[in-house]
Amino acid sequence: MYKITATHNKKLKDWVTKMAYLCQPQDIVWIDGSESQKRSIEKEAMASGELIELNQDKLPGCFLHRTAVDDVARTEHLTFICTKKKRDAGANNNWMAPHKAYKKAREFFRGSMRGRTMYVIPFSMGPVGSTFSKIGVELTDSRYVVLNMLIMTRAGEAVLRQLEKEDDFTKCLHSKADLDINKRLILHFPEDNTIWSVSSGYGGNVLLGKKCLSLRIASFLARREKWFAEHMLIMGIEEPNGHIEYIAAALPSACGKTNLAMLVPPEGLKRKGYRIWTVGDDIAWMRVDSDGSLWAINPETGFFGVAPSTNSQTNPNMVETIKKNTIYTNVLLKPDNTVWWEGADADVPAEGIDWQGRAWKPGLVDASGKKILGAHPNSRFTAPIANCPSASFRLEQHHGVPISAIIFGARRQRLAPLVYEAFNWQHGVFMGATMGSELTAAQVGKIGEVRRDPMAMIPFCGYNMADYFRHWLDMGKKMTKRPKIFCVNWFRFDEHGKFLWPGFKENLRVLEWILDRCNNKVATQETPIGYVPYPADIDMTGLDLPHRALERLFAVDNAEWLEELKGVKKFFKQFKQDLPQELWLEYEALTRRLK
């Protein structure tokens, strides 16, 4: 018999009871957000082997977790959008009919928590009580999930109190069950405001406030309620006079989104006294405020970042951030109980325990002769934003920050200039909708092949992408002060296959130009694809590039772009008559300009 006393919210009580009868936990524990409860769950997790305590002198409050070997990344092929009509999930999503999905998953959840505790985590994405914010309640049998959710979201008592004032919340059910990949499902029911995730323990599949709620469910709600839920970083750039401009940027995976969100200004620009404020590295919720401009919050309170290649060169602020109160997942354990990953600051350790829990030393190879890595390539850390030296002081402000520019990124060796600006909002939506990136060795598929990933939302848009484009076009009409839209490409090659642009902190030089454009400080050169900078308008102090590198970085080759448009056409055609006509008009106008 399950007795619920923690809340008066009838809807919440009834739902928790119903799910408990389905999953049959031994007991139910409500997460209150207190330090003492967190401590006791950490202790239990250590006793059960879910967490390994790291060296508390060197890494206070830090733990290591290892996932199952076949549970190390988001499983997109097991992720479904379960709308009543298949059309509403669209061509970009896996779809399952809701009744079928519930029926199938119910069998995997049935009795899955026997002998375990079911934790009830009331959480708020966004500051509790802000008009931006959404409440979720996650039920889980994983202590790892509880402890990660305490870092990534505002969870506990304050949210429960808020739920006595408002009734609406996303019902999030998770059970690790027996982690059997054949019974793994990540199901979204946007029409029911419900998420069911079973048989996984990997962050992206189980921290349901993140991709599942804040992107897939939220994007669906955002369209209905006329706001944006986007896969974007948010950062503030403070000028020497104290004025701060905020930008939001969508970059495809493996393009340095997290690094950009907290970059440290390059030496050459130090004299200008810029300061960077990190609002978020992954998700932006944006609304049109009464002033007619776009305001944004980051709904999360933590980073769930990729460990490999995080070091003082690529991201010094992150290196500081993950020194305390951090949960590491699937990295290498060193003999002194600290951690390491490929591309970390420290030298390669002489020995250690790899991410699979096996003895490791450098140079080990598997049966096929492939190098055995110490840390999984997708090993992660979960760390509070509050630890970050560049954390924005506006993180808790209920109205968020005003957005001056929206940036879309691409990874292209040829074709796309370092930066270019849209002619207007509709053209900018076309730029976002046609975002394409070349695959790298880190992804499945043929290296160099271009994959379309509109607004970096392909795996995260919780509804038909054609409707999503329409929503973007409509939102432009709601604003009287629209952010300017830009595209960036840090990855252009020279004729010898070398990067033309050094990237990393030097990218601030490009952001500086973007802000100058937002403030009408510089003129541009018009090209068929958009406005590009005059080379003289990029401050190159302290950065020596080869002769005419900037000219090459801004060059537009019409023949290459006409070739590119063939891929765009093919991509657009899959949406059939649902694709907004405005995007075809942009396509035709661009074709004409290029010819």
Q: Which residues bind Mn ion (CB under 5 A)?
A: 282
Residue 204 interacts, among ligand OXD, Mn ion, none and using kind-specific CB cut-offs from 5 to 8 Å, with: ligand OXD
Contact between 230 and ligand OXD (CB under 6 A)?
A: no
Judged by CB, which is closer to ligand OXD: 282, or 467? 282
Phi, psi of 74 (to 5 degrees): -65, 140
As a three-state string, the secondary structure of 283-315 is CEEEEECCCCEEEEECCCCEEEEECCCCCCCCC
525 DSSP β-pair partners: 532
- With CB under 6 A, what is the number of residues at the site for ligand OXD? 4
Q: To which H or E segment does residue 230 belong? A: strand 228-230
Is 255 catalytic? The answer is yes
Query: Closest CB to Mn ion among 376 and 470?
Result: 376
DSSP codes, 425-449: HHHHHHHHHT-EEE--TTSSS-TT-
**Closest distance to ligand OXD from the beta carbon of 257 (Å):** 8
Give the DSSP H or E segment for 163: helix 157-165
DSSP conformation letters of 550-584: HHHHT---HHHHHHHHHHHHHHHHTTGGGS-HHHH
For the window 67-86, what string marks contact with ligand OXD as x by the rule CB under 6 A? -------x------------
Binding-site partner at residue 230 among Mn ion, ligand OXD, none, CB < 5 to 8 Å by type: none
* Cβ neighbours of residue 153 closer than 8 Å, sequence gap 6 or more: 121, 123, 124, 125, 136, 209, 300, 301, 302
Q: Which residue of the chain is nearest ligand OXD when measured via CB?
A: 282
Q: Could you tell which of ligand OXD, Mn ion, none binds residue 143, using a CB distance below 5 to 8 A set by kind?
A: none
Q: Using the minimum distance from each CB to ligand OXD, give the nearer residue, 274 or 304.
A: 304
Q: Which of 172, 255, 388, 461 is catalytic?
A: 255
Between CA 481 and CA 316 the distance in angstroms is 35
443 binds, among Mn ion, ligand OXD, none (CB under 5 to 8 A by kind): none
Asked whether 68 and 201 are in contact (CB, 8 A), the reply is yes
* Of 471, 433, 473, 431, residue with least CA distance to 453: 433
**Of the candidate residues 42, 50, 138, 282, the single one contacting ligand OXD (CB under 6 A):** 282
For ligand OXD, the closer CB: 74 or 484: 74
The one of Mn ion, ligand OXD, none whose footprint includes residue 512, by CB under 5 to 8 A per kind, is none
Does 253 sit near ligand OXD (CB under 6 A)?
A: yes
Token pair of 416 as six digits: 């796309």
Residue that the structure tokens 């957000």 belong to = 33
Task: State the nearest-atom distance from the C-beta of 233 to ligand OXD, in Å.
Answer: 10
* CA within 13 Å, CB half, 358: 12
Shortest Cβ 253–ligand OXD spacing (Å): 5
CB of 2 to ligand OXD, least distance (A): 34
Closer residue to ligand OXD in complex, CB, 278/338: 278
Q: How far lies 414's CA from each of 275, 382, 498, 552, in Å?
A: 32, 35, 11, 10
204 binds ligand OXD (CB under 6 A): yes
Site track 35-74 with ligand OXD (rule: CB under 6 A), x = hit? ---------------------------------------x
Secondary structure (3-state) at 384: strand
429 with 476: CB under 8 angstroms?
yes
What, of ligand OXD, Mn ion, none, does residue 349 touch, CB below 5 to 8 Å by kind? none
455 vs 590, beta carbon nearer ligand OXD: 455
Binding site for ligand OXD (CB under 6 A): 74, 204, 253, 282
The residues annotated with a catalytic role in the active site are 255
